[in-house]
Amino acid sequence: MATQRPLGFWLKLVDGLINQQFDGLVEEHGVTRRQWQILNVLTGSPSTEAELTKVLKPFFDSESDVSAAEPVAELVDSGWVADDEGQFMLTAIGRESLARLSEVVERHRTQIAEGIPEEEYDAAVDVLQRMAHNLGWSE
């Protein structure tokens, strides 16, 4: 019988696999993960660079790396995002590209949960959220 591995092993492994596959998936379509996140934020409303940085902050490994400046500038250069005096917004091309990419991402998310009943998936997310709270996390 194989030794059962601890929770931390599985969390790191799954997190790494999700990140690796997701990064490759969006990069195949011409954007980085940070740009994907920015595009999704901009679907709601125009945002400043500071607002975008604040949203991205939890996804960066260290405080010193936190800035939306470069990824948003590249999106402006590509024509997916427009800059109106410091307010960034999706262009028509950006909305169309995001819609196509969202379909690809949704298929990937479905693949990740393949064979896992919805109630088990929901239970796993609930348990992880409670563990995070137990460790001091708050939204």
Instruction: Give the residue ranges of the chain where pLDDT is below 70.
Output: 1-2, 60-65
The CA-CA-CA angle for residues 46, 23, 112, to 5°, reads 105
What pLDDT is attached to residue 64?
62
Instruction: Assess contact for 76 and 38: CB atoms under 8 A.
Output: no
pLDDT in tens, 100-120: 999 999 999 999 999 999 999
Alpha-carbon distances of 9 from 5, 63, 72, rounded to whole Å: 6, 25, 34
Cα–Cα distance for residue pair 92/109, rounded to 1 Å: 25
What pLDDT is attached to residue 62?
61
What pLDDT is attached to residue 2?
58
Cα–Cα distance for residue pair 124/130, rounded to 1 Å: 10
Cα–Cα distance for residue pair 23/83, rounded to 1 Å: 25
Cα–Cα distance for residue pair 139/135, rounded to 1 Å: 13
